[in-house]
Structure 1
Amino acid sequence: MSTPTAVAGLEILFSREQIHQRVAEIGRQIDQDFAGERIILVGVLKGAAIFLSDLARNISIENTFDFVAVSSYGKGQRTSGAVRLIKDLDAHIENKNVIIVEDILDTGLTLCFLRSLFEQHKPRSLRIAALLDKPSRRLEKIDADYVGFTIPNQFVVGYGMDYAERFRNLPDICLMPPDFPE
């Protein structure tokens, strides 16, 4: 059912319409789960910035957001296996409801690292929202509380996700062919 996109000739995996519908559904679920409370959305830069932005607008309860930056990929399609914290939280999260917002839950290394780091700050609750879940690649035992789509082991770009800093601006989530030229 996928059709080629005009941008860069990449095949669309999820259209902007499918993404917006699913993000709205996740927003409604978060509203139900935290009714009457406040939340802090913590986006994992840079990939989750667009997802966090759309998600925040689809949540009606009071929410604010912060960002962290970590690195485990560098500029390629494969993880290095080592997670480095590049930018820490600005806000205090002690006794707060925190949702880590990630573009893709892949090996689980990044989210396990962040969960462990954030738990040291004693939040009231700590949950994970991942736009994409790729369980076949999991190296660490971790699941997201909110998942947009489960995908097979394919490299994707668009809607904030990149290949060597390219294609973040695509409105759809597209498949990156393994033989894509640099």
Structure 2
Amino acid sequence: IKGGDFTSVGINVATAAAIPLAVAGLFLTMIVRTISVGLVHTADNAAKDGNIAAVERAHLFALVLQGLRIAIPAALLLAMPAEAVQDVLNMMPEWLKGGMAVGGGMVVAVGYAMVINMMATREVWPFFALGFVFAAVSDFTLIGLGTIGVAIALIYLNLSKKGGNGGGAVGSGDPIGDILEDY
């Protein structure tokens, strides 16, 4: 590495290694889940016969398969020399590198869209906006942001209990109180 630019090389190596490992991981996940269906049927039949040892063996075998599903790609990642990944990255055409960058950006956008879909209620939008303000305006750590979030949630819950929700009666006309009563 010339000039000590470890950061850009590390990011490029990680990007180049991530896609084939993700594909391998998905492939291994499909195989393990397919085998697990058979193991569940084996365990069901053993349970019908009262053979608890066979149920335990099927369970343990499924656990071992789940562990191997993670261990195999991790071992491949550790065995792969950084220079080999860098050579593959250098052989990639620019249009593919650009596409990978766009795809990475799309993952972030889809993640935000999923969060917004889960939070798409009028009552929680102010908290969503406050989260972005706190994250953008200050130098809070994740622990600090989490503490602020818990404090705001506690304040919100206490205020909604004291607010005009008729003492928590369902159908009181206070939508926030009604929502909280459902939980």
Q: Larger helix proportion, structure 1 or 2?
A: 2
Larger radius of gyration: 2
TM-score, shorter chain, exceeding 0.5: no
Tell me which interval the TM-score lies in, with the shorter structure as reference length.
under 0.3
> TM-score, normalised to structure 2's length?
0.22
The higher relative CO (CA closer than 8 Å, separation ≥ 6) is in: 1
> TM-score, normalised to structure 1's length?
0.22
